[in-house]
Amino acid sequence: MQGLLLGIDLCDDCSQISFFNTKNLEAESVGMSEDDSQCLIPTVLCKRKGNESWYIGEDAYRYALMGEGIMVDKLISLAAKGGTSTMEGTKYEAEQLLELFIGRLLMIPLTKYKTAEIEELVFTIQTLDPVVMDTLIRIADRLGVKRDRVHIISHTESFLYYVISQQKELWRNQSCLFDLTETGLHYYELRVIRGRSPQIVEVAHQELEEAFSLEILETKSGGKLADTILCSCAERLLNKKLMSSVFLTGRGFETNDWASGFLKFICNKRRVFAGQNLFAKGAAYIAFDNTLESTSYPYICICEGRIRYTVSMEAVCAGRNRQMIVAGAGTNWYEAKADIEFILDNKDSVDFTVTPADNPRQTKLSVPLKEFPVRPAKATRIEMIVAFIKEDCMMVRLIDKGFGDLFPSSGQEIKRYFYLNN
């Protein structure tokens, strides 16, 4: 069997695994039980007292409740703040604990499908925190998954790819998602911007203020209150919008008998789907697409984690003027990097053109080269390194490389940061 194509949804409360089946071209849920019914895996880790045995999910809860283990939870938040946890006199770094959890999480599909290789691994997380993202890359590397096989995306992007992997009639107009968890109520809205080539698919995300604790669903009166809250949200968010489909996910929608009014409203002239593994499946679809020579999604995808702009610069290549793309709209900002060398020709600045994906209006950015030595035309070679700090913040680093023995490098560097949405 070839290496696995996996999508992993990591959240503070629960995590989920999806495996892409290349035979039927579908993303499938993978659970801790043999029949995969136990797909929601609590993001908790338990150390067995007196030894170095570690357990995750429901097993961790069981040992902790029996008094035989020490449990730690909220592993993603702990990693984000670089926290620690002390167990039986030993202090463990958050990264160590998250690695123990992820290692055991990955063993579930590796054991089930009897393989030791992961071909593509896509993590999806609620918020693209650079600290957490760097941590996940290091963990995956130590677990034997090569850097170029690991990708990290937002829940927003997972939703986008999950939806556009479905029948087109489900997103011909607009599509939306309600994600109800213990940590909040999130709303995602997908729209297709037509009239451009390639077409643009955009998803907006907002965390709703009307969030409530899932504990209120345990009583009849609490369920009625929750239903009223969701009805109000749906009426406000879906008003006068042509929605082809509505998706529901999160532990709050494991059962929906409490949400009769909400369901009645959203089911009116819309197709409604509920399920627990949407984000992990979206990540698995991306994992498969990453293995193809050319993408099966011929769109510019704009969402949290993707650059909304194309950044280019004018250059002469093979005697012809052209706009050289430095960063393309729809690129994952964490992976958008460029390292280019060029020779200056009567220029005292490096200039960029910024073009929004959904708007032809261009803006100009410029990096003056005052710190560099003045030399004749075509006597300065520059190395330019471009990276992104987040989806709308670009870092440009210019290094004077000189020009052979005649004009040796000065060692001077210039670094600038640009906010592309200004």
Domain residue limits, the chain = 4-152, 158-280, 309-419
> Of the CATH numbers 2.60.34, 3.40.1130, 3.30.1360, 2.60.40, which one belongs to the domain with range 309-419?
2.60.34
For range 145-170, the mean pLDDT = 96
Q: How far apart are CA 387 and CA 311, in angstroms?
A: 12
Whole-number CA gyration radius for the chain: 25
Are 398 and 391 contacting, i.e. CB atoms less than 8 angstroms apart? no
Nearest to 386 by CA among 377, 378, 396: 396
Whether pLDDT at 61 is above 80? yes
pTM: 0.92
Conformational region of residue 253, where left means phi above 0, alpha means psi within -120 to 50, and beta covers everything else: alpha
More confident residue, 37 or 336: 336
In this prediction, residue 22 carries a pLDDT of 94
For the beta sheet containing 338-343, the strands, ordered from the edge strand earlier in sequence to the opposite edge, are: 338-343, 381-390, 393-402, 413-419
In this prediction, residue 36 carries a pLDDT of 60
Reported as a pLDDT band with limits 50, 70 and 90, residue 1 is low
- pLDDT tens per residue, range 242-270: 999 999 999 999 998 999 999 999 999 99
- The per-residue pLDDT of the chain, averaged, comes to 94
For range 95-111, the mean pLDDT = 97
Q: How far apart are CA 131 and CA 125, in angstroms?
A: 12
> Of the CATH numbers 3.40.50.970, 3.30.420.40, 3.40.190.10, 3.30.413.10, which one belongs to the domain with range 4-152?
3.30.420.40
> Of the CATH numbers 1.10.10.10, 3.20.20.70, 3.20.20.105, 3.30.420.40, which one belongs to the domain with range 158-280?
3.30.420.40
Whether pLDDT at 422 is above 80? no
Matching fold, domains 158-280 and 309-419: no
Kindly list the distances between the CA atom of residue 184 and the CA atoms of 126, 152, 180, 365, 391, in Å, as whole numbers in the listed order: 11, 21, 6, 39, 24
Q: How far apart are CA 185 and CA 250, in angstroms?
A: 9
Whether pLDDT at 290 is above 90? yes
In this prediction, residue 95 carries a pLDDT of 98
Reported as a pLDDT band with limits 50, 70 and 90, residue 421 is confident
Q: How far apart are CA 233 and CA 167, in angstroms?
A: 27
In this prediction, residue 37 carries a pLDDT of 65
